[in-house]
A = this chain, B = another copy of it.
Protein backbone atom coordinates (compact mmCIF):
# COMPACT_ATOMS: atom_id res chain seq x y z
CA UNK A 1 0.00 0.00 0.00
CA UNK A 2 1.82 3.07 -1.26
CA UNK A 3 -0.65 5.48 0.40
CA UNK A 4 1.38 5.61 3.63
CA UNK A 5 3.75 7.94 1.74
CA UNK A 6 3.21 11.34 0.12
CA UNK A 7 2.55 10.27 -3.45
CA UNK A 8 2.61 12.45 -6.51
CA UNK A 9 2.23 10.70 -9.86
CA UNK A 10 2.86 11.72 -13.45
CA UNK A 11 0.48 10.54 -16.17
CA UNK A 12 3.15 10.85 -18.85
CA UNK A 13 6.93 11.24 -18.95
CA UNK A 14 6.85 14.89 -20.12
CA UNK A 15 4.33 16.15 -17.54
CA UNK A 16 5.32 19.26 -15.56
CA UNK A 17 2.53 18.69 -13.02
CA UNK A 18 2.04 15.71 -10.70
CA UNK A 19 -1.22 14.41 -9.21
CA UNK A 20 -1.71 14.00 -5.44
CA UNK A 21 -2.68 10.40 -4.66
CA UNK A 22 -2.99 10.56 -0.85
CA UNK A 23 -6.69 10.53 0.18
CA UNK A 24 -6.06 13.28 2.77
CA UNK A 25 -4.11 15.44 0.32
CA UNK A 26 -0.52 16.55 0.98
CA UNK A 27 0.30 19.13 3.66
CA UNK A 28 2.48 22.25 3.35
CA UNK A 29 6.13 21.36 3.83
CA UNK A 30 5.67 17.64 3.19
CA UNK A 31 8.10 16.04 0.78
CA UNK A 32 6.79 13.56 -1.79
CA UNK A 33 8.30 10.26 -2.85
CA UNK A 34 9.96 12.02 -5.80
CA UNK A 35 11.51 14.74 -3.62
CA UNK A 36 9.11 17.67 -4.23
CA UNK A 37 8.46 19.89 -1.17
CA UNK A 38 4.93 21.35 -1.14
CA UNK A 39 4.54 25.14 -0.72
CA UNK A 40 0.90 24.80 0.23
CA UNK A 41 -1.71 22.15 1.01
CA UNK A 42 -2.92 20.36 -2.13
CA UNK A 43 -6.00 18.06 -1.99
CA UNK A 44 -6.25 14.55 -3.42
CA UNK A 45 -6.50 14.45 -7.19
CA UNK A 46 -5.14 17.96 -7.62
CA UNK A 47 -2.04 19.08 -9.46
CA UNK A 48 1.35 20.17 -8.08
CA UNK A 49 3.92 22.06 -10.17
CA UNK A 50 6.99 19.85 -10.76
CA UNK A 51 9.01 22.82 -11.97
CA UNK A 52 8.89 26.64 -11.77
CA UNK A 53 6.33 27.94 -14.31
CA UNK A 54 6.42 31.49 -15.73
CA UNK A 55 3.28 33.29 -16.91
CA UNK A 56 2.38 31.83 -20.32
CA UNK A 57 4.19 28.51 -19.82
CA UNK A 58 2.33 25.42 -20.95
CA UNK A 59 0.95 23.22 -18.18
CA UNK A 60 1.50 19.63 -19.32
CA UNK A 61 -0.42 16.52 -18.28
CA UNK A 62 -0.90 13.27 -20.25
CA UNK A 63 2.02 14.71 -22.29
CA UNK A 64 -0.39 17.39 -23.62
CA UNK A 65 -0.94 21.09 -22.94
CA UNK A 66 -3.98 21.35 -20.69
CA UNK A 67 -3.64 25.12 -20.22
CA UNK A 68 -1.16 27.98 -19.70
CA UNK A 69 0.09 29.48 -16.44
CA UNK A 70 -1.74 32.80 -15.96
CA UNK A 71 0.86 33.90 -13.34
CA UNK A 72 4.14 32.62 -11.92
CA UNK A 73 3.69 29.20 -10.30
CA UNK A 74 6.64 27.94 -8.32
CA UNK A 75 7.82 24.34 -7.91
CA UNK A 76 5.67 22.60 -5.28
CA UNK A 77 2.64 24.91 -5.67
CA UNK A 78 -0.98 24.04 -6.36
CA UNK A 79 -1.97 24.29 -10.05
CA UNK A 80 -5.71 24.82 -10.53
CA UNK A 81 -8.33 26.82 -12.46
CA UNK A 82 -7.30 30.04 -10.67
CA UNK A 83 -3.78 30.09 -12.10
CA UNK A 84 -4.14 28.50 -15.53
CA UNK A 85 -5.99 29.60 -18.65
CA UNK A 86 -7.77 27.45 -21.23
CA UNK A 87 -5.96 26.85 -24.56
CA UNK A 88 -7.83 27.33 -27.86
CA UNK A 89 -9.51 24.15 -29.11
CA UNK A 90 -7.89 22.46 -32.13
CA UNK A 91 -9.15 24.23 -35.28
CA UNK A 92 -11.22 21.63 -37.12
CA UNK A 93 -10.41 22.88 -40.62
CA UNK A 94 -6.67 22.59 -39.95
CA UNK A 95 -6.93 18.90 -39.06
CA UNK A 96 -5.95 16.58 -41.92
CA UNK A 97 -8.16 13.63 -42.71
CA UNK A 98 -6.41 10.55 -44.06
CA UNK A 99 -6.52 6.80 -44.51
CA UNK A 100 -4.65 5.43 -41.51
CA UNK A 101 -4.18 1.77 -42.57
CA UNK A 102 -4.42 0.53 -38.99
CA UNK A 103 -3.48 -3.04 -38.04
CA UNK A 104 -6.35 -5.37 -37.08
CA UNK A 105 -6.63 -5.81 -33.29
CA UNK A 106 -5.31 -9.20 -32.14
CA UNK A 107 -8.22 -11.68 -31.94
CA UNK A 108 -9.45 -12.85 -28.54
CA UNK A 109 -11.35 -16.12 -28.76
CA UNK A 110 -13.53 -18.23 -26.50
CA UNK A 111 -15.32 -15.69 -24.33
CA UNK A 112 -19.08 -16.00 -24.07
CA UNK A 113 -22.11 -14.84 -22.12
CA UNK A 114 -25.69 -16.03 -21.82
CA UNK A 115 -28.00 -13.67 -23.62
CA UNK A 116 -31.42 -13.51 -25.28
CA UNK A 117 -31.03 -13.88 -29.05
CA UNK A 118 -33.54 -11.71 -30.95
CA UNK A 119 -35.13 -12.24 -34.35
CA UNK A 120 -33.13 -9.31 -35.78
CA UNK A 121 -29.84 -10.92 -34.69
CA UNK A 122 -29.19 -8.62 -31.72
CA UNK A 123 -28.73 -10.11 -28.26
CA UNK A 124 -30.41 -8.88 -25.09
CA UNK A 125 -28.94 -8.97 -21.59
CA UNK A 126 -32.28 -8.39 -19.85
CA UNK A 127 -35.85 -9.32 -20.69
CA UNK A 128 -37.93 -6.18 -20.33
CA UNK A 129 -41.42 -5.14 -21.42
CA UNK A 130 -41.07 -1.56 -22.66
CA UNK A 131 -44.00 0.81 -23.07
CA UNK A 132 -43.05 3.71 -25.26
CA UNK A 133 -45.03 6.88 -25.89
CA UNK A 134 -45.50 9.32 -28.71
CA UNK A 135 -46.11 12.28 -26.43
CA UNK A 136 -45.50 13.58 -22.93
CA UNK A 137 -49.25 13.99 -22.30
CA UNK A 138 -49.65 10.27 -21.65
CA UNK A 139 -46.77 9.88 -19.17
CA UNK A 140 -49.07 9.99 -16.12
CA UNK A 141 -51.13 7.25 -17.74
CA UNK A 142 -47.98 5.23 -18.54
CA UNK A 143 -46.81 5.46 -14.91
CA UNK A 144 -50.23 4.33 -13.74
CA UNK A 145 -50.34 1.39 -16.14
CA UNK A 146 -46.75 0.28 -15.40
CA UNK A 147 -47.61 0.11 -11.70
CA UNK A 148 -50.70 -2.00 -12.38
CA UNK A 149 -48.83 -4.34 -14.77
CA UNK A 150 -46.04 -4.83 -12.23
CA UNK A 151 -48.39 -5.72 -9.42
CA UNK A 152 -51.08 -7.64 -11.34
CA UNK A 153 -49.46 -9.25 -14.40
CA UNK A 154 -45.70 -9.49 -13.96
CA UNK A 155 -45.86 -12.16 -11.20
CA UNK A 156 -47.44 -14.52 -13.79
CA UNK A 157 -44.49 -14.15 -16.17
CA UNK A 158 -41.41 -15.18 -14.16
CA UNK A 159 -38.99 -14.97 -17.11
CA UNK A 160 -39.69 -11.26 -17.62
CA UNK A 161 -37.35 -9.06 -15.58
CA UNK A 162 -39.20 -5.76 -15.55
CA UNK A 163 -41.78 -3.42 -17.08
CA UNK A 164 -40.49 -0.01 -18.06
CA UNK A 165 -42.26 3.17 -19.22
CA UNK A 166 -40.14 4.99 -21.80
CA UNK A 167 -41.53 8.42 -20.90
CA UNK A 168 -39.99 11.48 -22.50
CA UNK A 169 -40.85 15.13 -23.02
CA UNK A 170 -41.18 15.16 -26.80
CA UNK A 171 -44.08 14.61 -29.18
CA UNK A 172 -46.18 17.76 -29.11
CA UNK A 173 -45.54 21.44 -28.34
CA UNK A 174 -42.29 20.96 -30.27
CA UNK A 175 -41.04 22.24 -33.62
CA UNK A 176 -41.52 18.95 -35.42
CA UNK A 177 -40.46 20.41 -38.78
CA UNK A 178 -37.25 21.97 -37.44
CA UNK A 179 -34.19 20.61 -39.25
CA UNK A 180 -32.97 19.10 -35.95
CA UNK A 181 -36.26 17.33 -35.12
CA UNK A 182 -34.85 14.18 -36.65
CA UNK A 183 -32.64 13.76 -33.57
CA UNK A 184 -35.33 13.24 -30.91
CA UNK A 185 -37.60 11.38 -33.34
CA UNK A 186 -35.08 8.75 -34.39
CA UNK A 187 -33.94 8.45 -30.76
CA UNK A 188 -37.44 7.44 -29.64
CA UNK A 189 -37.77 5.11 -32.63
CA UNK A 190 -34.40 3.43 -32.12
CA UNK A 191 -34.86 2.97 -28.38
CA UNK A 192 -37.80 0.68 -29.14
CA UNK A 193 -35.32 -1.50 -31.06
CA UNK A 194 -32.99 -1.92 -28.06
CA UNK A 195 -32.05 -5.62 -27.81
CA UNK A 196 -33.36 -5.87 -24.24
CA UNK A 197 -36.96 -5.30 -25.34
CA UNK A 198 -37.04 -8.31 -27.68
CA UNK A 199 -39.08 -6.49 -30.35
CA UNK A 200 -42.15 -6.63 -28.06
CA UNK A 201 -42.58 -2.91 -27.42
CA UNK A 202 -46.08 -1.49 -27.00
CA UNK A 203 -46.97 2.14 -27.66
CA UNK A 204 -49.33 4.38 -25.70
CA UNK A 205 -50.28 7.44 -27.73
CA UNK A 206 -52.88 10.13 -27.34
CA UNK A 207 -54.12 10.61 -30.91
CA UNK A 208 -53.81 14.32 -31.67
CA UNK A 209 -50.05 14.69 -31.10
CA UNK A 210 -47.54 15.85 -33.71
CA UNK A 211 -45.33 12.77 -33.41
CA UNK A 212 -47.37 9.95 -34.91
CA UNK A 213 -47.54 6.81 -32.72
CA UNK A 214 -47.45 4.72 -35.92
CA UNK A 215 -43.76 5.53 -36.46
CA UNK A 216 -42.83 4.00 -33.09
CA UNK A 217 -43.83 0.40 -33.66
CA UNK A 218 -40.71 -1.82 -34.06
CA UNK A 219 -40.22 -3.69 -37.34
CA UNK A 220 -41.88 -6.95 -36.29
CA UNK A 221 -44.68 -5.08 -34.48
CA UNK A 222 -48.21 -4.35 -35.64
CA UNK A 223 -50.58 -1.41 -35.73
CA UNK A 224 -52.46 -3.21 -32.92
CA UNK A 225 -49.47 -2.67 -30.63
CA UNK A 226 -50.58 0.97 -30.32
CA UNK A 227 -53.15 2.11 -27.82
CA UNK A 228 -54.58 5.56 -28.61
CA UNK A 229 -56.20 7.11 -25.54
CA UNK A 230 -58.47 9.16 -27.84
CA UNK A 231 -59.74 5.99 -29.54
CA UNK A 232 -63.54 6.40 -29.44
CA UNK A 233 -63.87 2.78 -28.29
CA UNK A 234 -62.62 3.74 -24.83
CA UNK A 235 -65.42 5.03 -22.64
CA UNK A 236 -63.35 6.64 -19.92
CA UNK A 237 -60.16 5.98 -18.05
CA UNK A 238 -60.88 2.51 -16.68
CA UNK A 239 -61.47 1.15 -20.20
CA UNK A 240 -58.17 2.67 -21.34
CA UNK A 241 -56.37 0.96 -18.46
CA UNK A 242 -58.07 -2.33 -19.28
CA UNK A 243 -57.00 -1.94 -22.92
CA UNK A 244 -53.41 -1.32 -21.86
CA UNK A 245 -53.35 -4.32 -19.54
CA UNK A 246 -54.66 -6.59 -22.31
CA UNK A 247 -52.04 -5.34 -24.73
CA UNK A 248 -49.33 -5.77 -22.10
CA UNK A 249 -50.40 -9.33 -21.42
CA UNK A 250 -50.02 -10.26 -25.09
CA UNK A 251 -46.43 -8.97 -25.10
CA UNK A 252 -45.58 -10.43 -21.67
CA UNK A 253 -46.62 -13.85 -22.92
CA UNK A 254 -44.17 -13.61 -25.84
CA UNK A 255 -41.37 -12.17 -23.71
CA UNK A 256 -41.87 -14.90 -21.13
CA UNK A 257 -40.98 -17.48 -23.79
CA UNK A 258 -37.51 -15.96 -24.30
CA UNK A 259 -34.62 -18.05 -22.97
CA UNK A 260 -30.96 -17.24 -22.42
CA UNK A 261 -28.44 -19.13 -24.57
CA UNK A 262 -24.66 -19.09 -24.88
CA UNK A 263 -23.53 -16.24 -27.16
CA UNK A 264 -20.04 -15.16 -28.20
CA UNK A 265 -18.67 -12.01 -26.53
CA UNK A 266 -18.86 -10.45 -30.01
CA UNK A 267 -22.57 -9.83 -29.26
CA UNK A 268 -21.72 -7.36 -26.50
CA UNK A 269 -22.60 -3.73 -27.28
CA UNK A 270 -21.14 -1.74 -24.42
CA UNK A 271 -21.80 1.98 -23.83
CA UNK A 272 -19.03 3.75 -21.91
CA UNK A 273 -19.70 6.99 -20.11
CA UNK A 274 -18.47 9.03 -17.18
CA UNK A 275 -20.06 11.54 -14.85
CA UNK A 276 -18.95 13.35 -11.70
CA UNK A 277 -15.36 12.80 -12.79
CA UNK A 278 -12.32 13.71 -10.70
CA UNK A 279 -8.61 13.88 -11.44
CA UNK A 280 -8.31 10.13 -10.80
CA UNK A 281 -10.83 9.29 -13.52
CA UNK A 282 -8.17 9.75 -16.18
CA UNK A 283 -5.62 7.63 -14.28
CA UNK A 284 -7.75 4.80 -12.94
CA UNK A 285 -11.38 4.28 -14.05
CA UNK A 286 -11.13 5.49 -17.64
CA UNK A 287 -7.91 3.62 -18.52
CA UNK A 288 -9.32 0.45 -16.89
CA UNK A 289 -12.51 0.89 -18.96
CA UNK A 290 -10.31 1.51 -22.00
CA UNK A 291 -8.45 -1.74 -21.39
CA UNK A 292 -11.75 -3.62 -21.08
CA UNK A 293 -12.93 -1.87 -24.23
CA UNK A 294 -9.93 -3.18 -26.14
CA UNK A 295 -10.68 -6.72 -24.88
CA UNK A 296 -14.32 -6.47 -26.03
CA UNK A 297 -13.22 -5.21 -29.45
CA UNK A 298 -10.60 -7.98 -29.70
CA UNK A 299 -13.36 -10.49 -28.90
CA UNK A 300 -15.31 -9.10 -31.86
CA UNK A 301 -17.76 -7.01 -29.80
CA UNK A 302 -18.81 -3.37 -29.94
CA UNK A 303 -18.11 -0.42 -27.69
CA UNK A 304 -19.27 3.22 -27.80
CA UNK A 305 -17.56 6.14 -26.19
CA UNK A 306 -19.40 9.45 -26.34
CA UNK A 307 -19.69 13.01 -24.95
CA UNK A 308 -18.72 15.43 -27.73
CA UNK A 309 -17.61 18.29 -25.45
CA UNK A 310 -15.20 15.91 -23.73
CA UNK A 311 -13.69 14.74 -26.99
CA UNK A 312 -13.63 18.10 -28.78
CA UNK A 313 -10.34 19.26 -27.24
CA UNK A 314 -8.63 15.94 -27.82
CA UNK A 315 -10.03 15.19 -31.27
CA UNK A 316 -6.64 15.62 -32.99
CA UNK A 317 -5.39 12.72 -30.88
CA UNK A 318 -8.26 10.51 -32.04
CA UNK A 319 -7.86 11.22 -35.76
CA UNK A 320 -4.87 8.86 -36.16
CA UNK A 321 -7.09 6.09 -34.74
CA UNK A 322 -9.91 6.46 -37.28
CA UNK A 323 -10.19 3.33 -39.41
CA UNK A 324 -10.94 5.14 -42.67
CA UNK A 325 -11.10 8.58 -44.23
CA UNK A 326 -14.90 8.45 -43.92
CA UNK A 327 -14.72 7.85 -40.17
CA UNK A 328 -12.33 10.80 -39.85
CA UNK A 329 -14.74 13.01 -41.78
CA UNK A 330 -17.71 11.82 -39.74
CA UNK A 331 -15.87 12.49 -36.49
CA UNK A 332 -14.96 16.05 -37.47
CA UNK A 333 -18.51 16.65 -38.76
CA UNK A 334 -19.96 15.80 -35.36
CA UNK A 335 -17.49 18.19 -33.68
CA UNK A 336 -18.41 20.93 -36.14
CA UNK A 337 -22.15 20.38 -35.69
CA UNK A 338 -21.77 20.64 -31.91
CA UNK A 339 -19.62 23.78 -32.07
CA UNK A 340 -22.40 25.42 -34.12
CA UNK A 341 -25.11 24.11 -31.80
CA UNK A 342 -23.39 25.55 -28.73
CA UNK A 343 -22.89 28.83 -30.55
CA UNK A 344 -26.65 29.24 -31.09
CA UNK A 345 -26.85 29.37 -27.27
CA UNK A 346 -23.91 31.81 -27.15
CA UNK A 347 -21.68 29.39 -25.23
CA UNK A 348 -18.77 27.05 -26.00
CA UNK A 349 -17.36 23.76 -24.76
CA UNK A 350 -15.79 25.45 -21.71
CA UNK A 351 -19.33 25.15 -20.24
CA UNK A 352 -18.66 21.46 -19.72
CA UNK A 353 -16.55 21.44 -16.54
CA UNK A 354 -18.74 21.42 -13.43
CA UNK A 355 -17.95 22.70 -9.93
CA UNK A 356 -17.53 19.06 -8.92
CA UNK A 357 -14.96 18.50 -11.66
CA UNK A 358 -12.95 21.50 -10.45
CA UNK A 359 -13.24 20.45 -6.82
CA UNK A 360 -12.01 17.03 -7.90
CA UNK A 361 -8.93 18.54 -9.53
CA UNK A 362 -9.97 18.90 -13.18
CA UNK A 363 -9.03 22.46 -14.00
CA UNK A 364 -9.94 22.72 -17.68
CA UNK A 365 -12.05 20.94 -20.27
CA UNK A 366 -8.79 19.97 -22.00
CA UNK A 367 -7.59 18.13 -18.91
CA UNK A 368 -11.01 16.53 -18.52
CA UNK A 369 -11.06 15.47 -22.20
CA UNK A 370 -7.68 13.83 -22.10
CA UNK A 371 -8.83 11.75 -19.14
CA UNK A 372 -12.20 11.10 -20.70
CA UNK A 373 -10.96 9.65 -24.00
CA UNK A 374 -8.85 7.14 -22.10
CA UNK A 375 -12.03 5.02 -21.88
CA UNK A 376 -11.86 4.46 -25.64
CA UNK A 377 -8.77 2.30 -25.17
CA UNK A 378 -6.45 1.94 -28.14
CA UNK A 379 -8.58 0.15 -30.75
CA UNK A 380 -9.28 1.61 -34.20
CA UNK A 381 -12.44 3.76 -34.34
CA UNK A 382 -14.51 2.03 -37.01
CA UNK A 383 -17.60 4.23 -36.99
CA UNK A 384 -19.27 7.40 -35.79
CA UNK A 385 -22.92 7.25 -34.68
CA UNK A 386 -24.84 10.55 -34.99
CA UNK A 387 -27.14 11.35 -32.02
CA UNK A 388 -30.16 9.02 -31.99
CA UNK A 389 -28.81 6.68 -34.68
CA UNK A 390 -28.22 2.97 -34.28
CA UNK A 391 -24.98 1.00 -34.52
CA UNK A 392 -24.54 -0.66 -37.95
CA UNK A 393 -21.41 -2.83 -37.52
CA UNK A 394 -19.13 -4.23 -34.81
CA UNK A 395 -16.10 -2.59 -33.23
CA UNK A 396 -15.25 0.64 -31.41
CA UNK A 397 -17.54 3.58 -32.23
CA UNK A 398 -17.78 7.18 -31.26
CA UNK A 399 -21.47 7.80 -30.48
CA UNK A 400 -21.85 11.57 -30.70
CA UNK A 401 -23.86 12.73 -27.67
CA UNK A 402 -23.98 15.57 -25.17
CA UNK A 403 -22.02 14.81 -21.99
CA UNK A 404 -25.02 15.14 -19.63
CA UNK A 405 -25.27 11.68 -18.09
CA UNK A 406 -28.88 10.76 -18.83
CA UNK A 407 -28.94 12.41 -22.24
CA UNK A 408 -25.86 10.40 -23.17
CA UNK A 409 -27.31 7.20 -21.66
CA UNK A 410 -30.58 7.70 -23.55
CA UNK A 411 -28.74 8.12 -26.86
CA UNK A 412 -26.55 5.08 -26.15
CA UNK A 413 -29.73 3.07 -25.50
CA UNK A 414 -30.97 4.19 -28.92
CA UNK A 415 -27.62 3.25 -30.43
CA UNK A 416 -28.25 -0.30 -29.22
CA UNK A 417 -26.14 -0.87 -26.12
CA UNK A 418 -26.84 -3.97 -24.05
CA UNK A 419 -24.42 -3.17 -21.18
CA UNK A 420 -23.63 0.27 -19.77
CA UNK A 421 -20.38 1.13 -17.95
CA UNK A 422 -20.43 4.32 -15.93
CA UNK A 423 -17.26 5.79 -14.42
CA UNK A 424 -17.50 8.23 -11.53
CA UNK A 425 -15.10 9.93 -9.16
CA UNK A 426 -17.37 12.00 -6.98
CA UNK A 427 -20.27 9.52 -7.03
CA UNK A 428 -23.72 9.46 -8.60
CA UNK A 429 -26.74 7.22 -8.00
CA UNK A 430 -27.04 6.82 -11.82
CA UNK A 431 -29.23 3.90 -12.78
CA UNK A 432 -31.26 2.75 -15.79
CA UNK A 433 -33.82 -0.02 -15.76
CA UNK A 434 -33.49 -0.84 -19.47
CA UNK A 435 -29.91 -2.16 -19.42
CA UNK A 436 -27.58 -3.16 -16.59
CA UNK A 437 -25.35 -0.25 -15.50
CA UNK A 438 -21.96 -1.17 -14.01
CA UNK A 439 -20.77 1.72 -11.86
CA UNK A 440 -16.99 2.04 -11.65
CA UNK A 441 -15.39 4.31 -9.06
CA UNK A 442 -12.15 6.13 -9.85
CA UNK A 443 -11.01 6.08 -6.22
CA UNK A 444 -11.19 3.53 -3.42
CA UNK A 445 -12.48 6.03 -0.87
CA UNK A 446 -15.73 6.43 -2.86
CA UNK A 447 -16.02 2.71 -3.42
CA UNK A 448 -15.72 2.08 0.33
CA UNK A 449 -18.08 4.86 1.36
CA UNK A 450 -20.70 4.01 -1.30
CA UNK A 451 -20.30 0.28 -0.68
CA UNK A 452 -23.84 -0.54 -1.90
CA UNK A 453 -23.86 1.83 -4.92
CA UNK A 454 -20.52 1.13 -6.63
CA UNK A 455 -20.00 -2.09 -8.59
CA UNK A 456 -16.29 -1.92 -9.34
CA UNK A 457 -13.36 -0.14 -7.67
CA UNK A 458 -10.82 1.10 -10.20
CA UNK A 459 -9.16 3.17 -7.47
CA UNK A 460 -6.98 0.15 -6.77
CA UNK A 461 -4.75 1.30 -9.63
CA UNK A 462 -3.83 4.52 -7.81
CA UNK A 463 -3.18 2.82 -4.50
CA UNK A 464 -0.82 0.42 -6.27
CA UNK A 465 -2.92 -2.63 -5.39
CA UNK A 466 -3.53 -3.56 -9.00
CA UNK A 467 -2.50 -2.62 -12.52
CA UNK A 468 -4.67 -1.20 -15.29
CA UNK A 469 -4.24 -4.49 -17.14
CA UNK A 470 -5.35 -6.61 -14.19
CA UNK A 471 -8.43 -4.49 -13.54
CA UNK A 472 -9.21 -4.26 -17.26
CA UNK A 473 -9.47 -8.05 -17.36
CA UNK A 474 -11.49 -8.07 -14.12
CA UNK A 475 -13.94 -5.54 -15.55
CA UNK A 476 -14.21 -7.55 -18.79
CA UNK A 477 -15.13 -10.65 -16.78
CA UNK A 478 -17.66 -8.66 -14.73
CA UNK A 479 -19.27 -7.40 -17.95
CA UNK A 480 -19.75 -11.01 -19.13
CA UNK A 481 -21.23 -12.00 -15.74
CA UNK A 482 -23.61 -9.05 -15.73
CA UNK A 483 -24.60 -9.57 -19.38
CA UNK A 484 -25.47 -13.17 -18.45
CA UNK A 485 -27.74 -12.03 -15.62
CA UNK A 486 -25.54 -13.86 -13.11
CA UNK A 487 -24.45 -10.73 -11.26
CA UNK A 488 -27.03 -8.05 -10.50
CA UNK A 489 -25.66 -4.51 -10.56
CA UNK A 490 -26.07 -2.21 -7.55
CA UNK A 491 -28.79 0.04 -8.98
CA UNK A 492 -30.89 -3.02 -9.92
CA UNK A 493 -30.43 -4.53 -6.48
CA UNK A 494 -31.58 -1.30 -4.84
CA UNK A 495 -34.21 -0.46 -7.46
CA UNK A 496 -33.03 3.09 -8.20
CA UNK A 497 -33.59 4.01 -11.82
CA UNK A 498 -33.72 7.34 -13.59
CA UNK A 499 -35.95 8.53 -16.39
CA UNK A 500 -34.75 8.91 -19.95
CA UNK A 501 -33.74 12.41 -21.01
CA UNK A 502 -34.18 13.14 -24.69
CA UNK A 503 -31.80 15.31 -26.72
CA UNK A 504 -33.95 17.85 -28.55
CA UNK A 505 -31.73 20.52 -30.13
CA UNK A 506 -34.82 22.27 -31.59
CA UNK A 507 -37.13 24.86 -30.04
CA UNK A 508 -40.43 24.35 -28.21
CA UNK A 509 -43.52 25.94 -29.73
Interface residues of A, Cβ cutoff 8 Å to B = 136-141, 143-144, 167, 169, 172-180, 206-210, 212, 229-230, 232, 234-238, 275-276, 309, 341-342, 344-347, 349, 351-352, 354-357, 359-360, 402-408, 426-431, 449-453, 491, 494-499, 501, 503, 505-509
A342 and B507 contacting across the interface, CB-CB below 8 Å? yes
Closest to A137 in B: B428
Interface residue from B167, B402, B449 paired with A173 (Cβ < 8 Å): B402
A498 and B209 contacting across the interface, CB-CB below 8 Å? no
**Given A136-B406, A140-B429, CB of A509 within 8 Å of CB of B357:** no
| Min C-beta distance of A275 to chain B, whole Å | 7
B347 and A406 contacting across the interface, CB-CB below 8 Å? no
B238 and A429 contacting across the interface, CB-CB below 8 Å? no
Q: Is the interface of A mostly helix, strand, loop or mixed?
A: loop
Copies in the complex: 2
CA distance A344 to B499 in the complex (A): 28
CA distance A208 to B450 in the complex (A): 16
A356 and B207 contacting across the interface, CB-CB below 8 Å? yes
A276 and B208 contacting across the interface, CB-CB below 8 Å? yes
**Given A229-B427, A450-B237, CB of A178 within 8 Å of CB of B357:** no
**Given A212-B355, A508-B404, CB of A496 within 8 Å of CB of B144:** yes
Query: Can you pick out 30 interface pairs between chain A and chain B where the beta carbons lie within 8 Å of each other?
Result: A136-B404, A137-B275, A137-B405, A137-B429, A137-B430, A138-B429, A140-B430, A144-B495, A144-B496, A169-B406, A169-B501, A173-B403, A174-B404, A175-B351, A177-B347, A177-B351, A178-B345, A178-B347, A179-B345, A208-B355, A208-B426, A210-B354, A234-B449, A235-B451, A236-B450, A237-B496, A345-B507, A347-B509, A404-B509, A407-B508
**Given A236-B453, A449-B232, CB of A359 within 8 Å of CB of B173:** no
- Point out the residues of chain B lying under 8 angstroms from A140, CB to CB: 429-431, 491, 496-498
Closest to A495 in B: B144
Interface residue from B169, B176, B209, B356 paired with A208 (Cβ < 8 Å): B356
| Min C-beta distance of A488 to chain B, whole Å | 14
| Min C-beta distance of A238 to chain B, whole Å | 7
| Min C-beta distance of A276 to chain B, whole Å | 5
- Point out the residues of chain B lying under 8 angstroms from A494, CB to CB: 144, 237
CA distance A235 to B344 in the complex (A): 43
Q: Which 7 A-B pairs have the closest CB atoms?
A: A208-B356, A173-B404, A345-B507, A402-B508, A140-B496, A175-B347, A140-B498
- Point out the residues of chain B lying under 8 angstroms from A177, CB to CB: 347, 351
A141 and B496 contacting across the interface, CB-CB below 8 Å? yes
